[in-house]
């Protein structure tokens, strides 16, 4: 634990210095595996900047008039919660390429599974589902028992949505993706929870304003431990990078920076991050090729491989007729493999020998 505290201090100082002149109420953060950088939503200026792992910042997008709040990258489009609507921003150019006019109240958190984007409406206490291919949307959940939804994630281990709530003794709820029923995972002693993230072991990180900290919980929202307790100011939407075992925390208050903290969860155990009914990956470790069981693919899926920095190094389609991927040109080491289709969203830790 003392080692982790040292990591917290060093990383938070680094990002505070690097971004002191550029951050403006950072509210949300999202990882771009294509270049290993992070999108950061500046709520104070209606802009989005990109953060490099070394703390360097660069301008990316502007013109987000009522945000940006939640950010979610799907393929080459960054979806941005902008007040009552969702903006679509090109991942490469930073240009606004479209809008989904929803007429909501205050869209705040965002996550996705496949082609379905889910966003929370903080004020109306609702959750919407958007099909990103058709841009059609529907009200997915409206019976939230008077609780205010804030941060939301897709739990790929249990194939469900999980969101944290605003208010005192904030609750954490799960949503069934089949029938949108809501169940309580647990109740915290925290007040005004803003962001939630999950590591590969199914443990949760929750950012709260009362007190200002990030708390780590078990998968059942029990056994709370203080993860970050210093240097935070109104910590907002958060992101956990499983490949790097690192948590990124935008401080939307007076801190006006992004904190980074390391943990020991995923890369040590080499645990597969499979959701329910996930296709099997073999062999692991591997030298030349990896394969999936054809009968488990159920159609075509995209297999993407990321290095330990979170950068995409390989991507190709697989199917029941061609279920293997050539990895012979990859360097020896540890990689993350993502398998995604309309019915599959699974992750695996791979050792390349």
Structure tokens at 268: 């040590």
User: Whole-number mean pLDDT of the chain?
Assistant: 88
Residue 4 pLDDT: 34
Rounded mean pLDDT, 188-208:
94
Instruction: Tell me how crowded residue 292 is: count the other CB atoms within 10 A of its CB.
Output: 25
In this prediction, residue 303 carries a pLDDT of 94
CATH for 281-352 is 2.60.40.3080
- Please check the confidence at residue 320 and state whether its pLDDT lies above 60: yes
Confidence of residue 143 (pLDDT cuts 50, 70, 90): confident
For the chain, the domains span: 2-262, 281-352
pLDDT tens sequence across 253-303: 988 999 999 876 665 443 344 555 678 889 988 999 999 988 888 889 999
- What is each CA distance from 200 to 8, 157, 334, in whole angstroms? 20, 8, 15
Contact present, 340 and 284 (Cβ < 8 Å): no
pLDDT attached to residue 7: 34
Residue (of 136, 140, 135) closest to 177 by Cα position: 140
pLDDT over 60 at 236, yes or no: yes
Q: Decide: residue 178, CB within 10 A, 0-12 exposed, 13-18 middle, 19+ buried.
A: exposed
At residue 66, the 3 state secondary structure works out as coil
CA 134 to chain centre: 23
pLDDT in tens, 38-71: 999 999 999 999 999 888 999 999 999 998 999 9
Q: Average pLDDT of 127-140?
A: 97
| Residue range 70-128, pLDDT digits in tens | 999 999 999 999 999 999 999 999 999 999 999 999 999 999 998 999 999 999 999 99
Tell me the average pLDDT across 228-248.
Answer: 90
Tell which residue, 346, 350, 298, 348, has the closest CA to residue 159.
Answer: 346
Is pLDDT above 90 for 179?
yes
Percent of the chain scoring above 70 in pLDDT: 90
What letter would DSSP give residue 276?
A: T
Q: Which of 118, 53, 115 is nearest to 340 (CA)?
A: 115
Instruction: Report the pLDDT averaged over residues 136-157.
Output: 90
Class at the top of the CATH hierarchy for domain 2-262: mainly beta
Q: Smallest Cα–Cα separation from 161: which of 115, 123, 113, 194?
A: 113
Residues 46 and 66: their CA atoms lie apart, in Å, by: 7
2-262 and 281-352: same fold? no
């Amino acid at each position: 634990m003392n080692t982790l505290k040292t990591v917290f201090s060093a990383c938070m100082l680094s990002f505070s210095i690097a971004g002191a002149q550029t951050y403006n109420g950072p509210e949300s953060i999202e990882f771009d595996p294509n270049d290993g950088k992070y999108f950061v939503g500046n709520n104070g200026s209606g802009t989005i900047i990109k953060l490099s792992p070394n703390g360097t910042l660069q301008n990316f997008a502007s013109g987000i008039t009522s945000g940006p709040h939640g950010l979610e990258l799907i393929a080459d489009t960054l979806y941005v919660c902008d007040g009552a609507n969702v903006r679509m921003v090109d991942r490469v150019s930073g240009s606004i390429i479209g809008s989904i006019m929803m007429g909501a109240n205050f869209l705040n958190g965002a996550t996705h599974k496949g082609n379905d984007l889910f966003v929370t409406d903080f004020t109306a206490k609702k959750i919407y589902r958007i099909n990103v291919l058709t841009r059609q949307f529907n009200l997915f959940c409206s019976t939230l028992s008077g609780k205010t939804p804030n941060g939301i994630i897709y739990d790929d281990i249990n194939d469900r949505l999980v969101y944290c709530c605003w208010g005192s003794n904030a609750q954490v709820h799960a949503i069934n993706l089949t029938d949108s029923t809501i169940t309580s995972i647990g109740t915290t002693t925290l007040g005004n929870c803003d962001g939630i993230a999950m590591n590969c072991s199914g443990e949760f990180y929750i950012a709260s304003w009362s007190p200002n900290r990030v708390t780590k919980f078990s998968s059942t929202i029990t056994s709370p431990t203080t993860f970050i307790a210093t240097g935070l100011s109104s910590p907002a939407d958060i992101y956990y990078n499983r490949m790097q075992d690192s948590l990124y925390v935008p401080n939307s208050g007076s801190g006006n920076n992004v904190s980074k903290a390391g943990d020991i969860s995923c890369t040590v155990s080499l645990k597969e991050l499979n959701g329910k009914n996930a296709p099997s990956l073999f062999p692991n470790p591997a030298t030349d090729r990896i394969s999936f069981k054809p009968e488990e693919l159920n159609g075509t899926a995209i297999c993407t491989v990321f290095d330990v920095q979170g950068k995409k190094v390989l991507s190709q389609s697989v199917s029941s007729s061609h279920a293997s991927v050539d990895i012979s040109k990859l360097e020896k080491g540890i990689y993350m493999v993502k398998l995604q289709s309309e019915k599959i969203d699974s992750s695996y830790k791979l050792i390349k020998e």
